Amino acid sequence: MKSALDRREATFLRGHRAEWIALLFLVAKGYRPLARRYAASGGEVDLIVMRGDTIAFVEVKARGLIDDALSAITARKRQRFSRAVRAWLARNEWAADKTWRADAVFIAPKTWPKHIVSAFELEMD
């Protein structure tokens, strides 16, 4: 039987691996990485990538099934995510004239990553 610490470590490692898979997948699609695991204002953005004039703030979810990953982005998660996005934008004034969106990449075993463009609205107020 695994301890709580072992389970947390396994979850952390699965998430870390999923972020690398998502990043490689997005780079193959022509995105350029700007930041990884950006944390500020009580929130975190897993990946920040850019293609053309669009900056995508990406939430990565790894689950046993893609459908479980789809439902893992809760309203509270979106609020915290958006707070971190606002903090990043405040520190990167050059990005003010770009298009911003919140994407998601879902990772599940034995399937290709699923990239959802504009997966949810950013809360910019």
Report the DSSP beta bridge partners of residue 32. Answer: 50
If one looks up domain 4-120 in CATH, what number appears?
3.40.1350.10
Q: pLDDT value at position 50?
A: 98
Q: pLDDT value at position 64?
A: 76
pLDDT along the chain (125 residues), means of 10: 75 83 98 97 95 98 74 87 97 97 93 93 89
Q: pLDDT value at position 47?
A: 98
Report the DSSP beta bridge partners of residue 54. Answer: 51, 99
Q: pLDDT value at position 67?
A: 67
Q: pLDDT value at position 13?
A: 77
Q: pLDDT value at position 12?
A: 72
Alpha helices by DSSP H, listed for the chain, are 4-28, 66-70, 75-91
Q: pLDDT value at position 3?
A: 82
Read off the pTM: 0.89
